[in-house]
Amino acid sequence: MGSPSGPPFDPDDPDRERRERDTEPIPRHRPDDGPGYGSGAGLSDGASFSDDVGYGPGPGYAGEGRTWARDPDEPPVISEEELAGLRVDASGMPLGPRRVLPLEDEPSSLVARYLFPTERYRGEWKRHWIHLTTPILIGIGATFVLGYLSGFLAGQDVGALTTVAVLLWFAVMGWVAWRVADWWYDRFILTNKRVMVVNGIVTRRVAMMPLVRVTDMKYEQTPTGRALNYGTFVLESAGQEQALREVKNLPNPNELYLRVVEEMYEPQAVEARLGKEADEAKADDGA
């Protein structure tokens, strides 16, 4: 037998304990010894260089993937908090912070006659009540002025002039009623193919613009419009003048703007929301 390697054993050697400590083998940790090179985190069966996350068969530098970057074909992971802002209830209103106008099921009889069968109805809106400010103020003013004038003329024993004042008041009130009726029949319409404006009582006017032709769209709000929640929409089409360019005094302009833009750029999202609502309605009817 050969002699062991290294210097001979000397009990009085001051460096003996240090050499023994440096050459002592590192023991393998047990699973209950905590993190290290055992079965816990590290080079073990757990996280890191293991069969799970890290260098294991899962995503990481081992297994079938063997790549550091995420697969571009893999769908992104969306948390529940992010999905909360995209969910809607049965009426079409989102459950998150974003507010979108609810989708109507059927057009009114006034609008249905202007839609062709393959067109999908998205909604119709009357103009904001601020549109009636001028005729209402004129009616109120005429009531006070002509009422005072009629009382004054009645005391002067001039019956003919009093009759003229009363007839004039009826004429002004008739004009106000006409303007209110015109406001009621004035509609802004959105479908999956175009935007339309229909107005007029005796003479009907129908203006429309295909969504594919809209090159730019914006809305403007004055300070009063921001306070009362109305605005003016401006539609551009390839830099050309068109019948439907400026639509004034539309209600909820921000929500309506989102509705039109979503229909222009994300029609699949609208269809998916409508399909989900129809399925939920059928489920409720079945229950």
Give the closest residue to 195 by CA, choosing from 177, 210, 185: 210
Identity of residue 203: T
Task: Answer whether 182's CB lies under 8 Å from 126's CB.
Answer: no
pLDDT band, residue 156 (cuts 50/70/90): confident
Question: Residue 271: how many CA atoms within 13 Å on its side-chain side?
Answer: 8
Supply the mean pLDDT for the chain. Answer: 74
CB of 218 closer than 8 Å to CB of 202: no
Segment 3-23, tens digit of pLDDT: 445 556 566 666 666 676 666
59-63, 223-227, 275-279: which has the minimum mean pLDDT?
A: 59-63
205 in Cβ contact with 196 (< 8 Å): no
> Is pLDDT of 153 > 50?
yes
Whether 251 contacts 272, CB under 8 Å: no
What was the pLDDT predicted at 58?
44
Q: Assess whether pLDDT exceeds 50 at residue 183.
A: yes
Alpha-carbon torsion angle 81, 85, 88, 91, nearest 10: 140
Q: Which two tokens stand for residue 169?
A: 């008041």
pTM of the model: 0.58
**Residue 49: other Cβ atoms inside 10 A:** 17
113-117, 125-129, 151-155, range with the lowest pLDDT: 151-155
* 223/84: higher pLDDT: 223
Tell me the three state secondary structure of residue 60.
strand
